[in-house]
Amino acid sequence: MKARIILASASPRRRELLDQIGMTYEIWPVHIDESPRCNEAPHDYVRRIAAEKSAACHAQAVHMGLPVLAADTTVVLGGQIMGKPKDKEDAIMMLRRLSGRTHQVYSAVSLRGNEHGEALNVTHVTFRALSEREILAYWATSEPADKAGSYAIQGLGSVFVQSIRGSFSGVVGLPLFETAELLLQQGIQVLHE
């Protein structure tokens, strides 16, 4: 029988990624304050937010005997955190800054069952130079609005991505290699007979 988990997320991307590895899950969206703390390092920030998302569901999930999986993803350029854009101007500014440069995408995973397991994936993404016209045209597609760094590698944003070093699923929002390792540590096998 397939193991069931709670996915503490409202992100359709994380659902699709879990579907990709055949996991069965229940969705429990959580809403927490995702503001970074003053001078918080990117790796501390994403790990804290992923852990807070899973913690928000943990007590209730324990009663049901189900582990809780949560994740957080942020784009980092020159050590600076870029979350989701506040508005059009913010998105345009982020895309201008990412143009022609290499940034990092940090994705933290938190799995709370009998124990708390955590993992972090950092992937390097290089953008080609973007023209002002294509940045505006990209904003008009509405794809950037709810994505960290204002782009989606799995969507139209793929045409900006010259190369990546690391994990594609990590950039999309849930690094599957690390997630499968955490599940296995808690006795949940992705591949089973």
Ligand X SMILES: Cc1cn([C@H]2C[C@H](O)[C@@H](COP(=O)(O)OP(=O)(O)OP(=O)(O)O)O2)c(=O)[nH]c1=O
Which of residues 83 and 113 has its CB atom nearest to ligand X in the complex?
83
Question: Out of 68, 82, 98, 105, which residue is the one contacting ligand X (CB under 6 A)?
Answer: 105
Reported as type and span, the H/E element at residue 111 is strand 102-112
- Asked if 13 touches ligand X (CB under 6 A), the answer is yes
Reported as type and span, the H/E element at residue 74 is strand 68-77
- Asked if 171 touches ligand X (CB under 6 A), the answer is yes
Under the phi-then-psi rule, with left for phi > 0, alpha for psi from -120 to 50, and beta for the rest, what region is 149? left
CA 6/CA 28 separation, integer angstroms: 7
**Per-residue DSSP letter, 48:** H
**Measured at CB, which residue is nearest to ligand X?**
9
Exactly one of 44, 72, 87, 90 is catalytic; which is it? 72
Instruction: Show contacts with ligand X in window 41-100 (CB under 6 A).
Output: 53, 72-73, 75, 84
Write the interaction track for ligand X spanning residues 125-164; mark x where CB under 6 A is met and - where it is not.
Answer: ----------------------xxx-xxxx--x-------
- Asked if 167 touches ligand X (CB under 6 A), the answer is no
CA 40/CA 37 separation, integer angstroms: 5
Q: Which stretch in 8-16, 59-67, 95-103, 134-142 sits in contact with ligand X by CB under 6 A? A: 8-16
- Asked if 22 touches ligand X (CB under 6 A), the answer is no
Task: For residue 72, indicate whether it is catalytic.
Answer: yes
Structure tokens at 104: 């990092």
- Asked if 178 touches ligand X (CB under 6 A), the answer is no
Reported as type and span, the H/E element at residue 94 is helix 88-98
Q: Which stretch in 54-62, 116-124, 166-174, 180-188 sits in contact with ligand X by CB under 6 A? A: 166-174
CB of 1 to ligand X, least distance (A): 26
The b-or-e profile of 7-46 (16+ CB within 10 A means b, else e) is bbbebebbbebbeeeebebeebeeeeeeebeeeeebeebb
Q: Which amino acid is at 18?
A: L
Residues serving a catalytic function are 72
Binding site for ligand X (CB under 6 A): 9-11, 13-14, 29, 34, 53, 72-73, 75, 84, 105, 147-149, 151-154, 157, 171-173
